[in-house]
Amino acid sequence: MWKKREVRILKGNIISSRSRTELEICENSYLVCEDGKAEGIYRTLPFRLGGYPIRDFGDCLIIPGLVDLHTHAPQYSFRGTAMDLELLDWLEVHTFPEEIKYGDMEYAGKAYEIFAERMQKSAVTRACIFATIHRPATMMLMDLMEKSGLVTMVGKVNMDRNAPEGLCEGTEDSLAETEAWLKEAAGRRYVNTTPILTPRFVPSCTDRLMEGLGELQKKYSLPVQSHLSENPEETAWVKELCPWSEFYGDAYDHFGLFGRECPTIMAHCVYSGEEEIRRMKENGVFIAHCPESNMNVSSGIAPVKQYLDEGLQVGLGSDVAAGSTENLFAAMAHAVRASKIRWRIQDDRRKPLTMEEVFYMATRGGGAFFGKVGSFEPGYEFDAVVLDDSRLSGPREMNARDRLERVIYLGDEREVRAKYVRGKELFF
């Protein structure tokens, strides 16, 4: 049966990432979306596309939607506060007490609505999100994210050790709840929202829990997200907890939760050694680089340039609330700054990250975890953000590249004039 093509045409200054080091800039051009996929970019619209309505965004910039590979929805409620401690103390003093509250659906509802609304208004179109251990609140978050129009992977968190009462599950309970959650989520028939297995991190998960999660992964073919080698104390602790592991990441790999069997995101990787790096590369693990978080909880600065040089998969994460904001432009600017400081005071063998590289990570780099996402190359899923940067403009004529850089340093949701996800416009 013949189906009418659904065609959208946007006009503006189109910028995307051609490669890690190169932008593709098409000023004053037409961006065509067909049936939810990018079809092409044209200076002059070809004859066969005549007759379709054109949405002319004038001098706006049009970029691929940004991808947040790592954030914690329940922590949004205390973002921008509690910046006084290192990771493990920060978890115990600030984070776990907050996450316990998500056993209360009224609190969770208020908090998650704000999170979903702010994510919707941002330039992010895709995100991988930690919830808490609580199944009902996680389902509520998934409902809200589905309603937001963003494409997200959301994880009910698993924790069965080293957690306070109210946030520590029994091992079998944790597995049973996870399976119940997966069935409930499947029953919702979401279009844009999928579950992702989410063992919090090795210190919170016994070997038996990890083993069970590995089995669930196989049974349901699930992607996985967790934390890796974020902080020196944490990394040393994992060595104690899993003396049998070759390195931190091996404690996931051992249970089939480290990329080999399933698409996997590991957040941070500040202290990954050569072996761990090699394993991540072999297994195709995605690294979520979270530069603001790594500064705020005094973790350090990840060797991202090295990861890129060695061809690993790297995206960016806001890591709210160790990161203060869902604004992924800020994450890009932080990534550049952090890499400059790393070059200056830690290791000058690798040059700082460029604007082109952080834009690549925030679009194609993270987008690859979702498939063909993060680019306007034909066949890519059509996520686009239209940016009106007139609030930032001045007396100086500026080319599209410099305007994009300015948005990276200074832009936020105020610049988002329109947003498209999988070809559909979001209204908010």
Residues that bind a copy of itself (CB under 8 A): 76-84, 98, 107, 110-111, 114, 292, 295-296, 298-301, 324-325, 333, 336-338, 340-346, 352, 354-355, 392, 394-396, 398, 402, 405-410
Nearest approach, Cβ of 71 to a copy of itself (angstroms)? 15
Report the DSSP beta bridge partners of residue 225: 265
* Least spacing, CB of residue 356 vs a copy of itself, in Å: 10
Residue type, 412: D
- The nearest distance, CB 402 to a copy of itself, in angstroms, is 5
Coil, helix or strand at residue 199: strand
Give the contacts of 252 (CB within 8 A, at least 6 positions apart): 199, 202, 210, 224, 226, 228, 258, 264, 266
Give the HSE-up count for residue 305: Cα atoms under 13 Å, Cβ half-sphere: 20
Nearer to a copy of itself, 41 or 321 (CB): 321
Nearer to a copy of itself, 69 or 355 (CB): 355
> Where does residue 185 rank: exposed (0-12), middle (13-18), buried (19+ CB within 10 A)?
buried
Nearer to a copy of itself, 251 or 355 (CB): 355
Nearest to residue 385, comparing CAs of 150, 141, 145, 153? 150
Closest contact distance (angstroms) between CB of 156 and a copy of itself is: 20
Amino acid (1-letter code) at residue 172: E
Output the smallest distance, CB 328 to a copy of itself, in A: 15
- Please identify, using beta-carbon distances, which residue of 128 and 297 lies nearer to a copy of itself: 297
Q: Are 273 and 246 in contact (CB under 8 A)?
A: no
- Please state, in angstroms and rounded to a whole number, the distance separating the CA atoms of residues 84 and 206: 29
> Rounded to the nearest whole angstrom, what is the least distance from the CB of residue 226 to a copy of itself in the complex?
23
Nearer CB in complex with a copy of itself: 242/355: 355
Compute the least distance from the CB of residue 33 to a copy of itself, in Å.
29
Q: State the Cα–Cα distance between residues 198 and 189, nearest whole angstrom.
A: 20
Q: What is the smallest separation between the CB atom of 203 and a copy of itself, expressed in angstroms?
A: 20
Q: Which helix (H) or strand (E) holds 387?
A: strand 384-387
Could you tell me the smallest distance in angstroms from the CB atom of residue 382 to a copy of itself? Answer: 28
- Report the residue number, 28 or 81, with the smaller CB distance to a copy of itself: 81
Helix then strand count (H, E) for the chain reads 15, 17
Q: Which is nearer to a copy of itself, 83 or 216 (CB)?
A: 83
Q: Which residue, chain included where needed, has tokens 């959650």?
A: 181
Residue closer to a copy of itself (CB basis): 197 or 302: 302
Residues 6+ apart with CB under 8 A from 47: none
Helix, strand, coil % (nearest 5) of the chain?
40, 25, 35
Count the alpha carbons within 13 Å of 163 in the hemisphere toward its beta carbon.
28
Please, which residue, 8 or 134, has the CB nearer to a copy of itself? 134
In the numeric block, the tokens 């091992």 are attached to 171
Are 299 and 270 spatial neighbours (Cβ–Cβ below 8 Å)?
A: yes
